[in-house]
Amino acid sequence: MRVEKQLAIFLENKPGTLAQVCKVLAREGVNIQAITVSDTVDHAVVRMIVSNATKALHLLGEAGVLVVESDVLTIELPNKPGALAKVAEKLAAAKVNIEYLYGSGGPGAQKGVVVIRSTHLKKAIQVLKG
């Protein structure tokens, strides 16, 4: 379990905008470690964890992209039924709300990783460590 810096990137919802962001990061050696995209009518919110958040913020800012940084919790879990349910149940019992969550384990993988955003990150860490 670790606290990571997540970037929320606001893009026009049209072909090529995500490709351009990925190209800017790749050109400078910044690896995307986790990503999710949510769309709305006129824009998309791309949330990602990258290998160097500070560098990515600088690069995307120079490219004129609106980026907001926040702390999220990453948790490695066994890739089996019920693993995420246990985490969600512990947080619910402690009245810690999950604002959003994304993750992947991949087919056949032994473990997966979930990224959790909560307004009570410190409390979430305490609950999940106990």
CB-count exposure of residue 79 (10 Å: 0-12, 13-18, 19+): middle
Round to whole Å and give the CA distance between 39 and 91. Answer: 27
Q: Are residues 104 and 119 in the same domain?
A: yes
Element containing residue 4 per DSSP (H, E): strand 2-12
pLDDT (0 to 100) of residue 106: 80
Neighbours of 32 (CB within 10 A): 16
Round to whole Å and give the CA distance between 49 and 64. Answer: 19
Q: Are residues 104 and 116 in the same domain?
A: yes
pLDDT (0 to 100) of residue 107: 83
Q: Mean pLDDT in runs of 10 for the chain (130 residues)?
A: 96 93 97 93 92 97 94 95 96 96 89 94 94
Q: Are residues 82 and 119 in the same domain?
A: yes
pLDDT (0 to 100) of residue 24: 96
pLDDT (0 to 100) of residue 42: 82
**CATH code of the domain in which 79 resides:** 3.30.2130.10
Domain that holds residue 47: 2-70
